[in-house]
Amino acid sequence: MKNQVSFCANLILEKSPDFRPQIGLVLGSGLGTFADSVKVISKISFKALPGFPKAGVGGHAGQLILGLVGRTKIAVLQGRAHYYEEGKADAMAVAIKTLKEIGCQSLVITNAAGTIDKDASPGEIMLITDHVNMTGVSPLFGHSERDRFVDMTNAYDLELSNIMRQAAKKNNIKLNEGVYAWCCGPQFETPAEINALKILGVNAVGMSTVPEVIVARHSQIPLCALSIITNLAAGISTSALSHDQTIRVAKLGEDAIREILMTYLNSFSDEQ
Ligand code: HPA
């Protein structure tokens, strides 16, 4: 994995030698068009980057974009790999570690999620404050060093989360907050599973993000994370769940998440 990370980092830096991104951004299902708001410096297909995700799930372009939001230099992963694709919990490890290797000092991770919390509605955004890993797997399986025993307290960085809260406030956008549960998918949850998650104190549920957070913690990259609420979770809504719905409703939340992210990223403009 180390070799893949340095190979990818060298390739990226060779393409744009003078560009060192400060912040890495992972764009989830249906959120890919945020990349249109970035002043692009260079683009590299994941296909050219060994260990990066293979494009697959609808709504994912599968490329790395280096660019600017205001004066903030960012690296965007437009698309991600999920555990359910090949049963590999570390499917995003090379990509996340490469972001650190090319200079990123922090990450923003986004996803689409179903809400268990009735105060949040489809199309709204939720700041993730903590998570519950329901899969029983870890991207750190197979690691043998002592540092695999990662402390997951405050995994969602308090300071970065505060900057995100301020960014939402500045734009007058409602920002829900809560605990995200990672369920492995690809099937949606049963109503009984959602009921169990509710009792466990979970606010929203999805099929990604948590393994990326674990890898980032292991690599000592601070992060914060946002969900676009695309549906009421199973059993809370009477309508059928589908991936098409996820993509369609994510579009409704796109403007809000774009405004929050633009303000958030702009607030790092002076840190270079
Ligand atoms: N469950 C799991 N993943 C999801 C959901 C959901 O309800 N909505 C969007 N991604």
Which domains are seen in the chain, by residue range? 2-266 (3.40.50.1580)
What separation in Å is there between the alpha carbon of 133 and the centre of ligand 1? 14
Is a pLDDT exceeding 90 seen at residue 229? yes
How much is the pLDDT for 272?
A: 56
How much is the pLDDT for 245?
A: 81
Q: Is any atom of ligand 1 closer than 6 Å to the C-beta of 22?
A: no
**pLDDT band per the 50, 70, 90 thresholds, residue 33:** confident
pLDDT digit string, tens, across residues 138-195: 999 999 888 899 999 999 999 999 999 999 999 999 999 999 999 999 999 999 999 9
The structure tokens 């969900």 sit at 227
For residue 14, indicate whether it is catalytic.
Answer: no
Find the mean pLDDT for residues 229-238.
Answer: 92
Residue 129: which H helix or E strand, with range? strand 125-133
Q: Is any atom of ligand 1 closer than 6 Å to the C-beta of 231?
A: yes
For residue 3, indicate whether it is catalytic.
Answer: no
Is a pLDDT exceeding 60 seen at residue 40? yes
User: Which of helix, strand or coil describes residue 234?
Assistant: strand
Strand 125-133 relative to strand 72-78, pairing: unpaired
How much is the pLDDT for 191?
A: 96
**pLDDT band per the 50, 70, 90 thresholds, residue 28:** confident
The structure tokens 């970035």 sit at 38
- Quick count: other Cβ atoms within 10 Å of Cβ 6? 13
Residue 10: which H helix or E strand, with range? helix 2-15
Is a pLDDT exceeding 90 seen at residue 126? yes
How much is the pLDDT for 266?
A: 96
How much is the pLDDT for 114?
A: 96
**pLDDT band per the 50, 70, 90 thresholds, residue 56:** low
> What's the whole-model pTM score?
0.95
How much is the pLDDT for 55?
A: 65
For residue 84, indicate whether it is catalytic.
Answer: yes
For residue 218, indicate whether it is catalytic.
Answer: no
Is a pLDDT exceeding 80 seen at residue 243? yes
Identity (one letter) of the amino acid at 166? Q
How much is the pLDDT for 54?
A: 82
Q: Is any atom of ligand 1 closer than 6 Å to the C-beta of 112?
A: yes
Is a pLDDT exceeding 80 seen at residue 261? yes
What separation in Å is there between the alpha carbon of 97 and the centre of ligand 1? 26
Q: Is any atom of ligand 1 closer than 6 Å to the C-beta of 156?
A: no
**pLDDT band per the 50, 70, 90 thresholds, residue 60:** low
Please give the Cα distance from 192 to 64 (Å, whole number). Answer: 38
In percent, the amount of the chain with pLDDT more than 90 equals: 83
